[in-house]
Chains A and B, each alone.
Chain A
Amino acid sequence: MEFNEIINPGNLVYKKTNLLTDKVLSYCPGCGHGTANRLVMEVIDEMKIQSETIGVASVGCSVLAYEFMDIDMVGAPHGRAPALATGIKRVYPDKFVFTYQGDGDLAAIGTSETIHACNRGENITIIFINNGIYGMTGGQMAPTSLEGMKTSTSPYGRDIESMGHPLKITELVSQLDGVYYVSRQAVHTPSAARKAKKAIRIAFENQKLKKGLSLVEIVSSCNSNWKLSPVKANEWMEENMFPFYPLGDIKVDGVAVKKVL
């Protein structure tokens, strides 16, 4: 009785945004990519800029993002999304241009493109999903993998001496003068997802100011390759990823707000 009263369009408080297509997401169950895709689309929906937004999808698990996001999208060669976005933004300076990249794309093969696009201060937004592993190709060690993290190419854990240190690329680019806004967020809990959405909104709003690049890192889980259940992977992420990748704003309005570790 009461349920029929509650479930009617007048009482609707939350539904899937129309900017996500009806296609079933290709991500694994519990993957942060799905939430991140949805938050980006919700921001674009709320800003009413669907027809003025051009997205650049990268290579990795997010390669099929153009199937799910109902906006104009381009697929970039591996790691080259910021370079492609630079070209698009220079041809259409009034459009909102963003890239959606994972850590294998942005922090490994695309390090050079990322750093130079940031340093040039292109007026684009970069959404960076960091799960510390190469998800799509089978869980190999990424530059962002934590010390001691077991992956398929570091089965005994990442050894700093032979494999080097994990790369904190977000802190790295926050020191460049061309970067206007840098924030690190997560999407594993409701409060984290709401904060992440605010950060993404700021990153898109900043494009109107034409003062530089905005980057939002989303620390995410890769439960399939971490070999954990989705809920356990989120707990593992809180315990192990967050101490090394602390959440919060790193640079706001061109001024560093957090001392870089």
Chain B
Amino acid sequence: MARVRGAIVIDVERCKGCGVCVANCPSHVIGLEHAVNSKGYHFSHVENPEECTGCTNCATVCPDAVITVYRKKFD
């Protein structure tokens, strides 16, 4: 069965760790990192990469436009 797989790339230096993407990810792919970036924010990171479908919900709500989304269909 064909399956759509997605992947996101987060610009961690621009991320302010607001967590809005975490709350809006339907597949619970994103989490906040314990480590901090150079500004001191707990930036977002991908926790469950296998679950990502590339729906772009996280990028749509990201106030700082740090998320880039890719999507590919596998047969």
| B7 CB, nearest partner CB in chain A, Å | 4
**A230 CB within 8 Å of chain B:** yes
Q: B28 near A: Cβ within 8 Å?
A: no
Chain A residues positioned under 8 Å from B17 (CB to CB): 29
A230 and B20 contact, CB distance less than 8 A: yes
Task: Tell me which of B14, B22, B56 contacts A13 (CB under 8 A).
Answer: B56
* Known contacts A20-B65, A24-B14: A30-B7 contact under CB 8 Å: no
Asked if A13 and B19 sit within 8 Å, CB to CB, the answer is no
B68 touches A3 (CB 8 A): no
A:1-41 near B, CB below 8 Å: 2-3, 5-8, 11-17, 20, 24-25, 27-35, 38
Query: Taking CB as reference atom, which chain A residue is nearest B74?
Result: A2
State the CA gap A207–B60 with chains docked (Å): 26
Number of interface residues of B (CB under 8 A): 33
Instruction: Give the docked Cα–Cα distance between A199 and B72 (Å).
Output: 30
Q: In this assembly, does A234 line the interface, its C-beta being within 8 Å of a C-beta of chain B?
A: yes
Cβ A34 vs Cβ B70 within 8 A: no
A194 interface residue (CB < 8 Å to B): yes
Using A13-B54, A20-B65 as known contacts, say yes or no to A188 and B20 having CB atoms under 8 A apart: yes
* Cβ contact within 8 Å between A35 and B63: yes
Q: Which residues of B lie under 8 Å from residue A7 when comparing CB positions?
A: 7, 9, 70
Q: Bound state CA distance, A13 and B71, in angstroms? A: 6
Contact of B57 with A190 in the complex, beta carbons under 8 Å = yes
| Contact residues, B57-75 vs A (CB, 8 A) | 57, 59-72, 74
Residue A187 interfacial (CB < 8 Å): yes
- Of chain B, the residue at the smallest CB distance from A12 is B70
For chain A, which range describes its interface: under 10, 10 to 19, 20 to 34, or 35 or more residues?
35 or more
Q: Is A167 an interface residue (CB 8 A)?
A: no
Query: Which of these, A12, A14, A33, contacts B63 with CB under 8 Å?
Result: A33
- Whether B18 contacts A230 by the Cβ 8 Å rule is yes
A8–B70 touching, CB < 8 Å: yes
From B6, B49, B60, B69, give the contact of A193 (CB < 8 A). B60
B42 closest partner in A (C-beta): A29
Q: Which residues of B contact A35 (CB under 8 A)?
A: 61-63
5 A-B pairs, CB-CB below 8 angstroms? A14-B59, A29-B16, A30-B63, A31-B63, A193-B60
Interface residues of B (CB under 8 A from A): 5-7, 9, 14, 16-20, 22-24, 41, 49, 54, 56-57, 59-72, 74
A interface, CB within 8 angstroms of B: 2-3, 5-8, 11-17, 20, 24-25, 27-35, 38, 187-190, 193-194, 223, 229-231, 234
A-B residue pairs, 7 tightest by C-beta: A34-B63, A30-B18, A29-B16, A29-B18, A14-B69, A190-B57, A230-B18
